[in-house]
Structure 1
Amino acid sequence: MIVFWQVGPQSFAELIEKLGRTGYPVDCVIYDPLMPWALDVAKRFGIVGVAFFTQNLVVNSIYYHAHLGNLQAPLTEEEIFLPGLPKLQHQDMPSFFFMKIVQDPVVLELVVAQFSNIDKADWILCNSFYELNKEIADWTMKTWPKFRTIGPSIPSMFLDNQVKDDERYVVAKFTSEECLVWLNDKPKGSVVYVSFGSIAALNEEQTVEMACGLRDSGSYFLWVVRDSDQIKIPKDFEKKSEKGLVVTWCSQLTVLAHEAIGCFITHCGWNSTLEALSLGVPTVAMPQWSDQGTNTKLIVDVWKSGIRAPLDEKQIVRRDVLKHCIREILESEKGKEIKSNALQWKNLTAAAISKGGSSHKHITEFVDSLFHLQADS
Structure 2
Amino acid sequence: MEKKSHTKPHAVVFPYPFQGHVIPSVHLAVKLASKGFTITFVNTHFIHHQITKSQPNDSTIDGDNIFAGVRKSGLDIRYAIINDGFPLGFDRSLNHDQFSERFLRVFPAHVDELVGNIVLHSHPPLTCLIADTFFTWSSMIASKYNLVNISFWTEPALVLALYYHLDLLMENGHFASHDNRKDTIHYIPGVPAIEPKDLMSYLQATDTSTPEHKIIFKAFADVKRADFILINTVHELEPTTISALQEKQPTYAIGPIFPSGFAKSVVSTSLWSESDCNQWLSSKPHGSVLYVSFGSFAHACKKDIEEIAQGLLVSKVSFIWVLRPNIVSYDESEILPVGYEDEIKGRGLIVPWCSQIEVISHPAIGGFITHCGWNSILESIWCGIPLLAYPLLTDQFTNRKLVVDDWKIGANLVDDKKPITRQEVADKISRLMEGKSNDEMKKNIKKARQTLQSALAAGDGPSDKMFGEFVREVNIKIQKPRGGVRGI
Q: Which residue does the alignment assign to 1:329?
A: 432
Letter in 1 for 2:227: D
> Residue 191 of structure 2: which of 82, 85, 89 is its match?
85
- Aligned positions of 1:165-180 closer than 5 A: 167-168=265-266, 176=274, 178-180=276-278
> Residue 16 of structure 1: which of 97, 115, 134 is its match?
115
Q: Deviations over 1:136-177 (max 9, x none)?
A: 111111122x11111112212128xxxxxx7426998xx656
Does the CA-based 8 Å contact 1:158-1:279 persist in structure 2? no
Q: Which residue does the alignment assign to 2:355?
A: 251
Structure 1 unaligned segments of length 5 or more: list them.
Answer: 160-165
Q: In 1, distance between residues paired with 2:268 and 2:181?
A: 49
Letter in 2 for 1:266: T
Structure richer in helix, relative to its length = 1
Q: In 2, distance between residues paired with 1:231 and 1:361?
A: 50
C-alpha deviation, 1:85, in angstroms: 2.1
Q: Which residue does the alignment assign to 1:232?
A: 335
Letter in 2 for 1:149: A
Structure 2 unaligned segments of length 5 or more: list them.
Answer: 1-99, 328-332, 482-488
Q: In 2, distance between residues paired with 1:83 and 1:21?
A: 42
Q: In 1, distance between residues paired with 2:231 and 2:302?
A: 36
Q: Deviations over 1:214-259 (max 9, x none)?
A: 0110111100111235611011212662211101001011111111
C-alpha deviation, 1:109, in angstroms: 3.5
> Residue 96 of structure 1: which of 202, 207, 217 is its match?
202
State the secondary structure of the residue aligned to 1:200: coil
Give the paired residue count: 366
Q: Deviations over 1:98-145 (max 9, x none)?
A: 35x62644323422432213332111111111111111111111122x
Q: 1:237 to 1:134 in 2, by over 3 A?
A: same
Q: In 2, distance between residues paired with 1:293 and 1:6?
A: 29
Comparing 235-244 with 149-158, which one deviates more in the overlay?
A: 235-244
Q: CA RMSD in A?
A: 2.3
C-alpha deviation, 1:266, in angstroms: 0.7
Q: Which residue does the alignment assign to 2:42?
A: none
> Residue 165 of structure 2: which of 65, 70, 83 is its match?
65
Q: In 2, distance between residues paired with 1:329 and 1:7?
A: 46
Q: Deviations over 1:81-103 (max 9, x none)?
A: 1332232223211111335x626
TM-score, normalisation: structure 2:
0.70
> Residue 372 of structure 2: which of 244, 247, 268 is its match?
268
Q: 1:208 to 1:360 in 2, by over 3 A?
A: same
Q: In 2, distance between residues paired with 1:38 and 1:170?
A: 26
Q: Which residue does the alignment assign to 2:72?
A: none
Q: In 1, distance between residues paired with 2:160 and 2:238?
A: 12
Q: In 2, distance between residues paired with 1:255 and 1:11?
A: 38
Note if 1:182 corresponds to 2:280.
yes
> Residue 213 of structure 1: which of 292, 297, 311 is its match?
311
